[in-house]
Structure 1
């Protein structure tokens, strides 16, 4: 199953929070996915140490949201995920 990696906000506050916006766009496009949260906070970089290794492995950076589709394709960043979801509606 596809996975959306998010911060601890998960898919809350879809109108304002980057992770929520990505989740909403994917759902609106009909995608099924599980949410996996990663620890740490952007404003407190030291809180990320060792908690975002998977994100770094997938994207070369530590920011979320990151979406991994059913085929293993990786899309990261809110705007990119939203655009991808619009361009790739679920069948």
Structure 2
């Protein structure tokens, strides 16, 4: 799969204001295939997100070439 969505582990939260869900829903609506990578919710445990994107914020889209896209979820969706 070419795209990975790095998001918080609260997969059950499916409300419009939740940043991770907002981006996941936008990917679904656009028919983009992606893999969900649930990672720790707690900010102090987000080492992988920081390693990949340089930030501790979710969500992050990672492409197969290793590049990442991270903006505010409203802009990402």
Structure 1 residues 69-80: aligned runs within 5 Å: 69-77=63-71, 78-80=73-75
Aligned length: 75
Larger Rg: 1
SS in 2 for 1:4: strand
The structure with the largest strand share of the pair is: 2
Q: Is 1:10 matched with 2:11? A: yes
TM-score by length of 2: 0.78
TM-score by length of 1: 0.68
Check the 8 A contact 2:60/2:69 in 1, yes or no: yes
Check the 8 A contact 1:11/1:21 in 2, yes or no: no
Structure 1: segments with no counterpart, 5+ residues: 83-91
Structure number with higher relative contact order (C-alpha < 8 Å, ≥ 6 residues apart): 2
Structure 2: segments with no counterpart, 5+ residues: none
CA RMSD across the alignment = 1.9
Residue 79 of structure 1: how far off its partner (Å): 2.4
